[in-house]
Homo-oligomer: A and B are copies of this chain.
Amino acid sequence: MTTVYGGIETGGTWCVCAVGAGPDDIAREEQFPTAGPDETLERIVDFFRVGPAPKTIGIGSFGPVDVDPSSPTWGYVTTTPKQGWRHVAVAPVLRDRLGVPVAFDHDVAAAALGEYRWGAGRQAGALSYLTVGTGIGAGLLIDGKPWHGLIHPEVGHIRIPHDRDRDPFPGACPMHGDCWEGLASGRAIEQRWGRPGSDLPDEHRAWELEAEYLALGILSVVCVFSPERIVAGGGVMERRGLLDKVRARLRGLLGDYLETPLLGEKIDAFLVPPALGDRAGVLGAIALAEATLASDEQSPG
């Protein structure tokens, strides 16, 4: 019998749980809206009460999160503006309730890991997974390991040029107004145009503006981290034609300064769609559990 792992993605909107060993080997999977922390964690515990029993469990959580194994608040969601979730212990509670070792990371780091292990990020030694959904975030992997640094990347809150003559919308971020996420997330699109992006037609001028903002933010990821590949997922990126618009605009912003085919005529192989779709997070959480077991790096306690 193959070893099975548990994967949990506690996203800002949806929570996904799975038990298995990879995308084609999932025994059980369940998805439900992310409610308050008590109710959500209870549903996760219930999910794992049914077998098969995982050897270890990986958790990818919306952030910011504390991923420092030496910290007393390791495994917590920290300063999130999400109602009820500020300073909530996620990994320690699930570890204690479920009685198995758990690995914990940012949801975008887990998604990056999923795409690296089984999807569009394979063999990229310096990989960035970008999600553009309700919010904007990016996970960075170096040789398949999530990069944290001081805390972890929080790309959604960089600032990009905002021409208020062209776009008078003040921004949707409760903390920073017109940061990147405040201008270009799904929430921003909905607030700016008065209806969700999914209700806007392909030819709506929202999408030119969106491509501009996404390219401006991605430029910072390119110029700071210098990734070999960027996998761009999330609900907003599913819009037909958007990825091509972003690629074209990114090339324009770079202006052939960084002389490499991947940032020029081969940009289609640099900025790519996900291969796992919205399963990247939960599959990445399984990959996180698997990697943690492999390296014997168990969570504290």
Contact = CB atoms under 8 A, between A and B. Distances in A.
A147 B255 CA distance: 23
A227 B149 contact: yes
Interface stretch (A22-30, A43-51, A215-223, A272-280): A215-223
A150 B262 contact: yes
A138 B255 CA distance: 20
A159 B219 CA distance: 8
Secondary structure of the A side of the interface?
loop
A223 B176 contact: no
A226 B150 contact: yes
Interface string A151-170: 11111111111100000000
Given A161-B160, A216-B159, A255 B224 contact: no
Counting chain B CB atoms within 10 Å of each CB, the highest count among A138, A152, A219, A258 belongs to: A258
Nearest to A138: B224
A176 B256 contact: no
Q: How large is the interface on A (under 10, 10 to 19, 20 to 34, 35 or more residues)?
A: 35 or more
A64 B255 CA distance: 14
B150 A79 contact: no
A153 B224 contact: yes
Interface string A194-225: 00000000000000000000001001110111
A159 B223 CA distance: 10
Contact of A224 (B151, B220, B256): B220
Interface of A: 64, 78-79, 126, 138, 140, 142, 147-162, 175-176, 216, 219-221, 223-228, 253-260, 262-263
> Top 8 closest A-B pairs, CB basis?
A149-B226, A126-B149, A224-B224, A220-B220, A158-B220, A79-B259, A150-B228, A158-B223
Given A152-B226, A159-B160, A159-B219, 5 more contacts: A149-B227, A150-B260, A153-B223, A153-B225, A160-B160
